[in-house]
Amino acid sequence: MYDFRVRTPNTQLLTPKVTHSLEHLFAVALRDDFEEHHRDLSVIDVSPMGCRTGFYVTVLNSRGTLPLGRIAASMRSMLDIALEIESLPGARRETCGAFEEHDLVGARSEIRRLVGEGIAPLDNPPHLAP
Ligand SMILES: [Zn+2]
């Protein structure tokens, strides 16, 4: 499992609605085009952190077989795929347990920010500020 941190902890958190919409976008991005472009990488889940600063990336690959940069590159690819999704998937009463709690505009803005800033793979991320 890897941490895909998108916000600085204890400073600017994602809103619950943006987090929820990102979860939907990332799930569909992973199910659709992702595997086709990353056959060496078995990402099975990208789930939101409860602190709303990022996502947990769960992979099936053997431990130690993937350089951290490979995971970072795959997340960049997932962002590109997610940004191509224009309407929020699965956000209907029948398919989502909180279908009114979404912010697609905010989620797309967050993805554009991440793409613009880039993803830095950190072997030893800094400790959280006290
Ligand atoms: Zn939902």
The domain that contains 106 carries what CATH number?
Answer: 3.30.1360.80
From the CA of 37, how far away is ligand 1's center (Å)?
Answer: 26
From the CA of 29, how far away is ligand 1's center (Å)?
Answer: 15
Instruction: Give me the pLDDT at residue 130, please.
Output: 59
| Distance (Å) of CA 73 to CA 31, 40, 42, 78, 111 | 17, 12, 14, 9, 14
- The 10s digit of each residue's pLDDT in 37-64 is 777 788 888 999 999 999 999 988 877 7
From the CA of 93, how far away is ligand 1's center (Å)?
Answer: 9
124: in domain: no
Full domain range(s) for residue 8? 2-117
From the CA of 56, how far away is ligand 1's center (Å)?
Answer: 17
127: in domain: no
Looking at the structure of the chain, the number of domains it has is 1
Q: Is the pLDDT of residue 103 over 90?
A: yes
By the CB criterion, residues less than 5 angstroms from ion ligand 1 are 96
Instruction: Give me the pLDDT at residue 27, please.
Output: 92
36: in domain: yes
